[in-house]
Amino acid sequence: MTDRAALGARLALVRQAFRLEYLTVAWMTIEAGVAIGSGIAAGSVTLLAFGLDSVIELASAGVLIWRLNIELQRGQPFAESAERAAARIGGALLLALAAYVAGAAGWSLLTGRGQEFSLPGLVVSVVAIPAMWVLSRRKLRLAEALGSRALRADAIEAVTCGWLSVVVVIGLLAQLLFGAWWVDPATSLVILALLIKEGREAWAEA
């Protein structure tokens, strides 16, 4: 493949990444609003974590759009410093979410307070499971093709969002069916290991 053809192929991948990030912004705006509002109303740690994760993904998408725009305007070499900055920001955001989940879940278990059932929270969480699976798979493939650590960190945040969706659904259904208040904070801790692992890796590799 000639240099011109290779550059054209890379730019096509960058444009695909742009489209994915704009889709991410559109969905995460809806998801964040519903999840945070429902989480506050229901007193749910996992719904709030889910909503805050959506806000973090919005921020991450904004950083990725900035990084990709630099490459489109100035070329790949100029994007390297933006790549490192974006990867570190993505890692820091993952670790910040991990800290929130740990603190909120611990407080809920300590005080013996869990969530109430939330139908809007359940609906948005159910829809998010397949949406995040598709987005994360496509972002991971593009991250590998582009050699982008920042895009991989962004993809892992989508993976995390998908797992959080599963956790939220389990907690809400348990609350609805069994009144098991402790399921909410207990299940929210399940995601901590992934958040910490991927956040540290994204930061260290930047």
pLDDT in tens, 124-137: 999 999 999 999 99
pLDDT tens by residue, 20-56: 889 989 999 999 999 999 888 877 777 887 888 788 7
Torsion sign (Cα): 54, 103, 86, 2? negative
Are 96 and 155 contacting, i.e. CB atoms less than 8 angstroms apart? no
16 backbone dihedrals φ, ψ, rounded to 5°:
-60, -45
Residue with tokens 């493939």: 141
| pTM metric for this prediction | 0.77
Query: CATH number of the domain that 86 lies in?
Result: 1.20.1510
Q: Mean pLDDT for the chain? A: 80
Structure tokens at 39: 């989480």
Answer whether residue 188 shows pLDDT above 90.
no
Rounded to an integer, the average pLDDT of 97-125 is 79
Round to whole Å and give the CA distance between 5 and 11: 10
Structure-block tokens of residue 164: 């959080």
Helix, strand, or coil (residue 168): helix
Q: Domain span at residue 130?
A: 3-205
Q: How far apart are CA 96 and CA 163, in angstroms?
A: 17
Looking at the structure of the chain, the number of domains it has is 1
- pLDDT score for 1: 54
